[in-house]
Chain A
């Protein structure tokens, strides 16, 4: 894995905007001079070998198998309390796990130093950076290196997955999200892939989902019942909100994508469960729920943290900390990963898995520190 510097394309902003990446620049004030840092950064790219990509692809497939086994382990051993999963959600998690309603995708975040691949976490419920990984970097490659290859068949595999789901979902499939540009474009892209598979779709804000108190069903803004809902909104937040009991009590009336059993995977307690099941596995880092134990260098992560918030990194006796609103639910303690530093940048690989389609591609996000946060940059990649 090499980091190669390159001149950005002329008008790169317009180029990525035209393919959906309209949120290519971070908020004003993120640059030292008070300006805005780029989020999409094509002043460099990551170059991999075919052998490295093969290894990353195989690791992704294997991690998915391990996580599926961990899901069964959590259920069989009733480990929900360890993951601070609310008791009222347990029946729904168990039932959907057994019934296997539609699931779509997930993203493993991996540390890779050119040799070892280590799982950092699994974003299984609401993974983003999808437009960047699937679309924007593909068009970048076509513009600059059309003869090179890229670990990225996310687009084709999403469409293939929707084609598989067409006979299982209730159309119209609703895509629910918050009212911000990144989430709106992400669900619009997912709608695009569903429509290309022949599935009728519509967007709706999470706050506009209605509850019919007479007929006990969720309604869209026109009063139509919503029977299949993709939601770019985490289950743990849904369960803390006003409609939570309706969602749980009437789970049989709605196919939620992702299904509620994904709460077992999107919870960082999964890392400790995996280590317990597969101690010393080369794809895993030691991880514990009850403290760092004998780890000298470790990362303390909130079980339900997002975008690098509330992370404590202890390395060589020194502490680095990020702040935020998470952590009240508890923490997992994971050995510090061997994230390489290339030209002052720390890359983390986001490896996508599409349900039943397998490992589908990856994106690279790099940061100025070993902790990936919401200001980390997306950098395209290729392999030869």
Chain B
């Protein structure tokens, strides 16, 4: 026989169930927030990261943070409650977003943004 004798699915079956019942949350919500934890345009965080990468001096003051998780209305200006932000204490120099930009992100089949081939 050249076929698998049995296939048991764990993670995949659970992910499929979540995806088809609308309960899927593949990724933690990430928002760009200001010092008051209010949502601002993501471009402000991206621009800040790029400046830091290029060695731009901002006086040690970084007004925008990526904030992970938590809850909010999801609109510009909404306050984010809960979750956590980077940089966190002791990890003040973590940069994110340095991979994954070439194909962007899109929902759907390979026709819409898969990195597979």
Contacts and interface: CB of A to CB of B under 8 A. Distances in A.
B3 A135 contact: no
A292 interface: no
A57 interface: yes
Nearest to A36: B109
Interface stretch (B32-40, B70-78, B100-108): B100-108
B99 A126 contact: no
A188 B15 contact: yes
A141 B3 CA distance: 10
Contact of A266 (B27, B96, B101, B117): B117
A161 to B, nearest CB: 14
B3 A150 contact: yes
Q: Is the interface of A mostly helix, strand, loop or mixed?
A: mixed
A21 B91 CA distance: 39
Interface string A114-150: 0000000001011111010011001101000000011
Contacts, number: 213
A177 B12 CA distance: 15
A20 B94 contact: no
A20 B115 contact: no
B10 interface: yes
B11 to A, nearest CB: 4
Interface in A22-46: 22-23, 25-27, 30, 39
Contact of A149 (B2, B12, B19, B28): B2
A147 B7 CA distance: 16
Nearest to B93: A213
A126 to B, nearest CB: 5
Contacts of B88: 223
Given A131-B12, A135-B7, A211 B102 contact: no
B117 A208 contact: no
Given A125-B117, A208-B30, A232-B115, A196 B3 contact: no
Interface in A186-205: 186, 188-189, 191-192, 195-196, 203, 205
A260 B11 CA distance: 28
B80 to A, nearest CB: 16
Nearest to B116: A128
A188 B102 contact: no
Contacts of A196: 8, 10
Interface in B59-117: 68, 86, 88, 91-117
Given A179-B26, A185-B12, A210 B95 contact: yes
A18 B13 contact: yes
Contact of A182 (B68, B91, B93, B114): B114
Contact of A27 (B5, B20, B111, B115): B111
Interface string A206-249: 11111111100001010100000000111001101111001000
A307 B110 contact: yes
A156 B5 contact: yes
A374 interface: yes
Contact of A128 (B53, B94, B102, B110): B110
Nearest to B109: A23
B9 A53 contact: no
21 contacts: A19-B12, A22-B16, A22-B19, A123-B117, A128-B117, A135-B12, A180-B107, A182-B108, A183-B116, A189-B11, A192-B9, A195-B10, A207-B97, A210-B96, A214-B93, A221-B68, A233-B103, A241-B99, A241-B100, A307-B110, A307-B111
